[in-house]
Each structure stands twice: as structure tokens, then as C-alpha cells.
């Protein structure tokens, strides 16, 4: 059950623009992790791997490392645990980059999430796996490949990784149907393949939180995606598959100025979705927060304000669910955000989707996240 607090009752556009000193006050100079911890939450970010001094949002860049160490309690390798990075061939694992990130996190007392054990889309699997010859007993061979992969990764990190995105993005956003991959074809369907991934992860890491992670969001056009994710989560429950939580990626997209109205309009369906997820007994995590500054003028003051207010409105609604215990940003610094390469602004202005600008200065979005964490009810 979700307890409705005064804070929750205030959620929405009006509340977002009100500064509630009593519950939302942000202690000066507090780190995001420090603010989160007061509420039983944890704050963190994705980090990448790079050569020493190269940058790229990696701990090898001293300024970035200092920022993450100062603000975070948990990190997640942005790419380095994915099959495409980890599995150059069917028989080998290239653990060096992932190991380096996990070791750095341990040295700095940061918890680690694993992302991900199975990105269930051909586009994000290695070419050799898409073209694989599964031989005379395809199901057995596909199951062997999948379970060997999961066991090898999970056993390597043991208790150092407390939460895994076991399956990532299995649902087609346009119609809510599950993707097909070479593995799922050989195993005899997407559901048995995903179930096997979770069951194998549970066997190998009984202590770890097992997460289904996806990007269904509250914005218009996401209805089929949300419905598909609900159906998948219902199926996991029905089949007794060990899935503990839904990872809500939270790659937000601003809808223009007039943010208060957008938040008011979007929150109804979002709550409907989250209510259904928690009613099934799942925990929630915000796993990949960033905010794409679409439908906004190039003017940085206007853009940063709208991004911050939109993020705040979203987090106020989402954090009103006590099932959320972790909020992770997908990178902390604009300079390294994936969004610049994925969808540059049509006007050519540089994207500003994260909490810190390219010189590592805090932006209004950072204050918005701090205020949302400070305003969250305790859990
Ligand atoms: O940010 C990641 C980018 O560097 C990679 O090129 C890309 C493909 O591996 O993945 C990006 O991260 C994605 C994450 O793994 C899953 N959810 C969506 C993220 C943004 O595309």
C-alpha cells in the first residue's frame, strides 16, 4: 500500500512550483547521496570506462571521478557489462573494463548495479550471437550459452554487485510484443528465454535484487509500451519467475515550456501504471535518469529551467511511491551524455540533459533532483 502523505497530496504542477520549506528543504552543501540517505534512498550514476586521462565520463578522468565520489552512493557501468562489450567470441569474456569499474567502486565504497545480463534485442547483441549456428540441439545449446553467460558474470562479482538488470528492454514499444532473438528462437520463445535468465541469476546470486529494466515512460505515445511491460510483469508473477523490481529508465523528454501543465496532464496515466506494478508486489528503481531538452528554445536559461522543473515534477510523482529506493542518473555531466550522439538538437545547440554542465558545474536540474530527494517521504 502506498501511504498518502502531505507531500504526495501536494504533488503536481502547483506543488512543484511551491517551495515547501518544512519537507523539501535542501541542506546547504549536502551531496545528493547524503540527501537521499536521509530518506532511505540511494542516489547514483552510470559511469563509463576509458584510458586514464581520456575522459568520456569515466573514473579515469579525475574531475569526473571526484564528482561521482562526492555525489553518489551507487554506480552502474554504462556499457561494459553488455554482451557487446563483454563477449568478443562465443567462448571468451573480456572482463577488464568492467572489472576496472567495479574495483574503483569498491575502493571508494560505492555500491554497484549490474547492467545488463540480457539485452533482449538483436540490435544490441553481438553479431556472432545473431548469426550463431546452434547445431543439432538448438534449444540445449542456446540455454547453455545463456546460462553460462549469466553464471560467469554473476559468479565473478559475487556480493560486490547487489542488483542486476537481468533483462533489458524486451518489449517492443510500438505494440507491446516481446522481441525475438536468435537465443529466444532456439529456446522456443521469448518468455522461456527471459524466465531462464531470471532463474539462472537467482540461482547464482540468491542475495541480489533482480530487475526487469525498460524505458516505457509517462510521455504521450508510450501506452502500448507500458501495457506490454505490465503484461510481461504479470506473466513473471503467474509463472513464479524470480523478478524483484521494475527498473524505470526515465529518459525523460520535455514537452515544451509550461511544464506545470505537462506534469499535471502526464501524471494520471503514470500513476495508473505504477499502481499496477506495485500492486503486483514489485519494487521500483529509477535506473537511467536524464532529460532531453526537446521542444525548447536554445536559450540556456529557459532550457535549463524547463528541464529542471520537468525532472522535479516527474520525480515528485515517482518518488511518492515508497517502493522506489534508488535513483540513478545516466551520467552526471552533459559533456558525456549519450543523447548528443543519439539525437542532436535540430538547432545545433549542445544538449543539456544531465545534472552538471560540461565544466562540472551544477545546473538547475541538479537542484531539482536534490529538492525532489529532500521532499521524498522516508522509506
Ligand atoms: O548510454 C549508452 C550508450 O553509450 C551505448 O552506445 C548504448 C548502446 O549500448 O547504450 C546506451 O545506454 C542505454 C542503456 O544501456 C539501456 N537503456 C537506454 C540507454 C540509452 O540508449
Domain segments of the chain as ranges: 33-375
Ligand 1 atom nearest residue 79's Cα: 9
Nearest to 105 by CA among 78, 67, 153, 65: 65
Nearest to 153 by CA among 200, 88, 89: 200
CA of residue 78 to ligand 1 center, whole Å: 7
CA of residue 328 to ligand 1 center, whole Å: 14
Q: Are 147 and 200 in contact (CB under 8 A)?
A: yes
CA of residue 333 to ligand 1 center, whole Å: 15
Q: What is the pLDDT of residue 25?
A: 73
Q: What is the pLDDT of residue 51?
A: 73
Beta bridge partners of residue 180, listed in sequence order: none
Q: What is the pLDDT of residue 56?
A: 79
Ligand 1 atom nearest residue 84's Cα: 9
Residue 192's alpha-carbon distances to 114, 178, 240, 246, 254, in angstroms, are 22, 12, 12, 19, 37
Q: Are 354 and 337 in contact (CB under 8 A)?
A: yes
50 Cβ below 6 A of ligand 1: no
For atom 5 of ligand 1, the residue with the nearest CA is 79
Handedness of CA 223, 225, 226, 232 (dihedral sign): positive
* Site to substitute for ligand 1 among 49, 338, 341, most atoms within 8 A of C-beta: 338
Nearest to 3 by CA among 211, 287, 278, 328: 278
82 Cβ below 6 A of ligand 1: yes
CA of residue 79 to ligand 1 center, whole Å: 7
80 Cβ below 6 A of ligand 1: no
Q: What is the pLDDT of residue 17?
A: 41
Q: What is the pLDDT of residue 52?
A: 67
Q: Which set of grid coordinates corresponds to residue 20?
A: 515547501
Mention the CATH class of domain 33-375. alpha beta
Burial (CB < 10 A; 0-12, 13-18, 19+), residue 30, is middle
pLDDT in tens for each of the 379 residues of the chain? 333 333 333 433 344 443 343 455 777 789 999 999 999 999 999 999 987 667 778 888 999 999 999 999 999 999 999 999 999 999 999 999 999 999 999 999 999 999 999 999 999 999 999 999 999 999 999 999 999 999 999 999 999 999 999 999 999 999 999 999 999 999 999 999 999 999 999 999 999 999 999 999 999 999 999 999 999 999 999 999 999 999 999 999 999 999 999 999 999 999 999 999 999 999 999 999 999 999 999 999 999 999 999 999 999 999 999 999 999 999 999 999 999 999 999 999 999 999 999 999 999 999 999 999 999 999 9
Ligand 1 atom nearest residue 168's Cα: 16
CA of residue 288 to ligand 1 center, whole Å: 9
Q: Are 153 and 81 in contact (CB under 8 A)?
A: yes
Q: What is the pLDDT of residue 150?
A: 98
Q: What is the pLDDT of residue 24?
A: 59
* Site to substitute for ligand 1 among 213, 330, 334, most atoms within 8 A of C-beta: 330
Amino acid at each position: 500500500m502506498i501511504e498518502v502523505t502531505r507531500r504526495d497530496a501536494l504533488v503536481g504542477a502547483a506543488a512543484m512550483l511551491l517551495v515547501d520549506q518544512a519537507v523539501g528543504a535542501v541542506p546547504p552543501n549536502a551531496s545528493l547521496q547524503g540527501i537521499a540517505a536521509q530518506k532511505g534512498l540511494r542516489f547514483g550514476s552510470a559511469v563509463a570506462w576509458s584510458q586514464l586521462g581520456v575522459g568520456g565520463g569515466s573514473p579515469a578522468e579525475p574531475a569526473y571521478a571526484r564528482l561521482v565520489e562526492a555525489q553518489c552512493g551507487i554506480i552502474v557501468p554504462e556499457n561494459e557489462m553488455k554482451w557487446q562489450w563483454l563477449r568478443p567470441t562465443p567462448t571468451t569474456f573480456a572482463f577488464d573494463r568492467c572489472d576496472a569499474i567495479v574495483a574503483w567502486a569498491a575502493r571508494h565504497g560505492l555500491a554497484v548495479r549490474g547492467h545488463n545480463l540480457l539485452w533482449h534485442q538483436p540490435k544490441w547483441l553481438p553479431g556472432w550471437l545473431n548469426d550463431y549456428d546452434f547445431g543439432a540441439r538448438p534449444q540445449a545449446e542456446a540455454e547453455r550459452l545463456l546460462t553460462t553467460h549469466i553464471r560467469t558474470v554473476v559468479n565473478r562479482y559475487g556480493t560486490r554487485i547487489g542488483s542486476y538488470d537481468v533483462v533489458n528492454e524486451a518489449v517492443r514499444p510500438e505494440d507491446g510484443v516481446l522481441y525475438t532473438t536468435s537465443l529466444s528462437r532456439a529456446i522456443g520463445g521469448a518468455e522461456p528465454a527471459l524466465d531462464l535468465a531470471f532463474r539462472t541469476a537467482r540461482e547464482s546470486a540468491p542475495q541480489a535484487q533482480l530487475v526487469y529494466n525498460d524505458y516505457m515512460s509517462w510521455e504521450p505515445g508510450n501506452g502500448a509500451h507500458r501495457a506490454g511491460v505490465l503484461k510481461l510483469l504479470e506473466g513473471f508473477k503467474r509463472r513464479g519467475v524470480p523478478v524483484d523490481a521494475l527498473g524505470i529508465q526515465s529518459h525523460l523528454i520535455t514537452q515544451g515550456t509550461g511544464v506545470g501543465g505537462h506534469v499535471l496532464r502526464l501524471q494520471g496515466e503514470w500513476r495508473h501504471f505504477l499502481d499496477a506494478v506495485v500492486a503486483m508486489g514489485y519494487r521500483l528503481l529509477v535506473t537511467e535518469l536524464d532529460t532531453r531538452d526537446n521542444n525548447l528554445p536554445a536559450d540556456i536559461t529557459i532550457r535549463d529551467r524547463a528541464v529542471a522543473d520537468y525532472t522535479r515534477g516527474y520525480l515528485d510523482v515517482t518518488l511518492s511511491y515508497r517502493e522506489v529506493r534508488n535513483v540513478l542518473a545516466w551520467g552526471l555531466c552533459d559533456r558525456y551524455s549519450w543523447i548528443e550522439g543519439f539525437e542532436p538538437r535540430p538547432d545545433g545547440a549542445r544538449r543539456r540533459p544531465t545534472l552538471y554542465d560540461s565544466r562540472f558545474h551544477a545546473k538547475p536540474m541538479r537542484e531539482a533532483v536534490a529538492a525532489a530527494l529532500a521532499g521524498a517521504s522516508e522509506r
